[in-house]
Amino acid sequence: MKGRYFAFNPGLCVLLIPLGAIAHKNGAPCARCPRNAHCTNASSCRCDPGFTSLSGKVIFSTSSEVCTDINECGPPLYMSCGSLAHCHNVEGSYYCECAPGHELLSGGTKFQSEKENTCQDVDECSSGKHQCHNTTHCINVKGSYRCYCHHDWVARSRPLHGLNFTICEEVPFPSWTSPSGVNSQSLSRFFDKVQQLSQDFKPALAKNTIQDLMQEVDELLETPGDLETLAPSEQHCVATHLLVGLEDVLRVLSKLLPKGPLTAHASAGTGLSLTVQDQGIGDVTLGQSQAKMQLKWDVAQESNDLGPSVVGLVSTPGMSKLLAEAPLVLDSKQQTVLREHRDFLAGGFPVLLSDVVSAFVSNKDTQNLSSPVTFIFSHRSVTPGPTQKVFCVFWEHSQDGCGHWSTTGCRMAATGDASTTCQCSHLSSFAVLMAHSHVQEDPMLAVITYVGLGLSLLCLLLAALTFLLCKAIQNTSTSLHLQLSICLFLAHLLFLTAIDQTKIKLLCAIIAGALHYLYLASFTWMLLDGLHLFLTARNLTVVNYTSVSRFMKRLMFPVGYGVPALIVAISAASRPSLYGTPTRCWLHTDKGFVWTFLGPVCTIFSINLAFFLMTFWIVKNKLSSLNRDVSTLQNTRMLTFKATAQLLILGCTWCLGVLQVGPAARVMAYLFTIINCLQGAFIFLVYCLLSQQVREQYGKWFRGVRKAKAEPENYTLSSGTVSDASKHSAALHSSNSSHPPRSERLLPGFTESPVPKP
């Protein structure tokens, strides 16, 4: 057995050795090598071509190694297939293929390298490889083809055998008939003419049909006839039917026009501007005599329409006759803003300022455009009055076939006397109108203003006469109060009588300038009064009151009247047109012009507040030693009262006007009106009624008047007696009170007591 075995074994080995060598040479798989790998020797493996090991080793000996596919079409290799071709990766290899619409010269589609690339365009139309419907015309383009309709036909995308095909259809004249329920001979005659145009319609003559249609619409709107006798609601329904129908007809007929622009104008002003373009890109601008529209081409193209794009603008000035009493509906955002400001309430019907224009494009879905459409309207020059507001509006169709003006989706980008720019996020019929409104004023505030200012005028007049005629109290302080009273009196009087005189623009500007000057002068005199009060209080313990008085006399008139005049002169020279507003003869808020008043006022009441606090502190510390004969309780009460009154006299309470914001605005408005309307009353109260010298002088005047009435026949003698008695009484009083406390002589507004001293 052994002998025979060994005898057979050498022969078998001879047969097996060549087979093993061939297997190693061809890289035959080994049981110990992973998938997509082969043996290189008895103990090593190597990944097949087109694969690489995860470890990155070319030769490996572990059976846990993994060979992954190499993407020859991606990084880092990026095998190049040349132009008009794409690289496709497959497991262990790759191939190149011509781009769609191209093939190799050999007729094949796949190749291995850029050197083998012979890709060229395939003419699908001539080769019959296209899928155009038999109603269309195939035109080859580079790498593809397109299906076009013959002239006078329109393209429609319709499903056919499970695929979407472009099918061409002959364009019929769109149906446009008279609205039901409207009895009008003028309207019936118009639609009879439209039906005649429909019967005579030929696609090749679409341009002539459009021009004839625009002329018929123009004649109807120019002479509406019995349409004007219809109820306003019926007129609005007719206008809606005309606007919608005209837009639909023009959208269809314009697709039959050759590419390029077209304009059509009728005798009474009705006009059309449109342009036709293949798959337009960029912006397009169309204009009429009184309006211009700007939009992007991409909003015009219908998604499933492969035909040309159309953009059109129609102007119908005569449509305003049918929309004369159309209501205006504000969007919710504008209603909220106007309600918060409480400055607009609809009153009456809006007035059209511009022509009514209608915009249409190929795409019927224009309710939410990707980019806004801009309209620039030219209209008659108008300046909105105090009860008017300008809006950009569109005609919104209602479910009952009528409609109303609406502001939803439209905003006013800019406006001037004769032009308005609007931006809208949808297409329809647009216009600019001016809505009548009225300012919602608080009647109670108006009553308080007139009553308060009337009382203030009376008190200021009495105070000015007192300061002027009462010789006993005349000094530097009295001169300051006299000038303040005069300026406030003139300012309040002009405010009450002329603030609303806005009809004559030049007169209104003069009134605004005068008010600007008088109120600035009033505040300047308040500042001088505060300065004088502080200097006097500071020098209570120093015998230099004369120097203070001399300083104030030199300073007060140049500053009191010169500084306001300089501010007003500079303001008027720089911005004369900003004096006077449409609602009030006051300063415009445009360009911050109102700060020519608010700036100085805020500065003055801030300085006066500082003067007041320092003066109050000085007087409070000195009062106990200066007025020892007055009880502490009475002293404190009178000081508090007069200090509060002085705060009002110095104008510090005008800061309440700045606080009229937020939830407390109404309360602050009442406080501001009440307190500042009574400024004149406080001047008369503090410097006249609470002054012992003035009260004594009033008593002498009243006694003289009563005595003169009791003895009219001896008027001259009585007057002399009263005069002598007054002089004698004044002499006695001067003798008895020749040495009043120093604080009474210097700070009467703070320290005088209403109770006569023993």
Tens digits of residue pLDDT in 293-335: 999 887 777 655 556 788 999 999 999 889 887 888 877 665 5
pLDDT confidence of residue 486: 93
Using CA atoms, how far apart are residues 181 and 194, in angstroms rounded to an integer? 19
Q: What is the mean pLDDT of residues 128-153?
A: 76
Question: Side-chain half-sphere of 390: how many Cα atoms within 13 Å?
Answer: 23
Using CA atoms, how far apart are residues 154 and 166, in angstroms rounded to an integer? 10
Q: What is the mean pLDDT of residues 260-285?
A: 86
- Number of helices and strands in the chain (H, E): 18, 28
Between 16 and 676, residue with greater pLDDT: 676
With a pLDDT cut of 90, the percent of the chain lying above it is: 20
Contact 250, 237 (CB under 8 A): no
Give per-residue pLDDT as tens, 379-417. 888 776 656 788 899 999 887 778 889 988 898 888 887
Q: What is the mean pLDDT of residues 537-544?
A: 60
For residue 622, how many other CB atoms are within 10 A of its CB?
17
Q: What is the mean pLDDT of residues 451-474?
A: 87
Say if residue 555's pLDDT is above 90. Answer: no
Widest distance between CA atoms in the chain: 186
Say what angle helices 206-222 and 232-253 make with each other, to 10 degrees.
Answer: 170
Vertex 659: Cα angle to 655 and 662 (nearest 5): 175
pLDDT confidence of residue 47: 92
Between 309 and 221, residue with greater pLDDT: 221
pLDDT confidence of residue 344: 43
Burial 168-192 (b: 16+ CB within 10 A, else e): beebebeebebbeebebeebeebbe
Between 237 and 707, residue with greater pLDDT: 237
Using CA atoms, how far apart are residues 472 and 469, in angstroms rounded to an integer? 9
Contact 400, 445 (CB under 8 A): no
Q: Which residues does residue 530 pair with via DSSP β-bridges, in sequence order?
A: none
Closest by Cα among 153, 302, 172 to 249: 172
State the pLDDT confidence band at 162, using cuts at 50, 70 and 90: very low
* DSSP H/E element including 681: helix 679-684
pLDDT confidence of residue 215: 93
3-class SS shares of the chain: helix, strand, coil, % to 5: 50, 20, 30
State the pLDDT confidence band at 537, using cuts at 50, 70 and 90: confident
pLDDT confidence of residue 632: 47
Contact 364, 302 (CB under 8 A): yes
Residue 45, classed as helix, strand or coil, is strand
Sheet bearing 37-39, strands edge to edge: 37-39, 45-47, 59-60
State the pLDDT confidence band at 153, using cuts at 50, 70 and 90: low
Using CA atoms, how far apart are residues 175 and 245, in angstroms rounded to an integer? 9
Between 555 and 396, residue with greater pLDDT: 396
* Residue 502 Cα to chain centre, angstroms: 26
Closest by Cα among 284, 163, 188 to 238: 188
For residue 629, how many other CB atoms are within 10 A of its CB?
9
Between 530 and 58, residue with greater pLDDT: 58
User: What DSSP character marks residue 354?
Assistant: S
Q: What is the mean pLDDT of residues 276-293?
A: 84
Say if residue 748's pLDDT is above 80. Answer: no
Closest by Cα among 523, 598, 521, 608 to 561: 521
pLDDT confidence of residue 24: 42
Q: What is the DSSP string of 379-448?
A: -------TTEEEEEEEEEEPTTS-EEEE-TTEEEEEE-SSEEEEEESS-SEEEEEEEEB-----HHHHHH
Say if residue 637's pLDDT is above 50. Answer: yes
pLDDT confidence of residue 661: 55
Q: What is the pTM (predicted TM-score) of this model?
A: 0.46
State the pLDDT confidence band at 125, using cuts at 50, 70 and 90: confident
Three state DSSP letters for 198-249: HHCCCHHHHHHHHHHHHHHHHHHHHCCHHHHHCCHHHHHHHHHHHHHHHHHH
State the pLDDT confidence band at 675, using cuts at 50, 70 and 90: confident
Say if residue 664's pLDDT is above 70. Answer: no
Q: What is the mean pLDDT of residues 609-616?
A: 81
The answer to which of 35-49, 604-618, 620-634, 660-674 has the lowest mean pLDDT is 620-634
Q: Sign of the C-alpha dihedral, residues 102, 104, 107, 113?
A: negative
Between 162 and 642, residue with greater pLDDT: 642
Closest by Cα among 743, 758, 620, 751 to 687: 751
Say if residue 126's pLDDT is above 90. Answer: no
Q: What is the mean pLDDT of residues 413-434?
A: 88
Using CA atoms, how far apart are residues 622 and 746, in angstroms rounded to an integer? 13
Using CA atoms, how far apart are residues 172 and 259, in angstroms rounded to an integer? 20
Say if residue 278's pLDDT is above 80. Answer: no
Say what angle helices 443-469 and 665-677 make with each other, to 10 degrees.
Answer: 30
Contact 410, 370 (CB under 8 A): no
pLDDT confidence of residue 653: 62
pLDDT confidence of residue 87: 92
Using CA atoms, how far apart are residues 163 and 650, in angstroms rounded to an integer? 87
The overall average pLDDT reported for the chain is 77
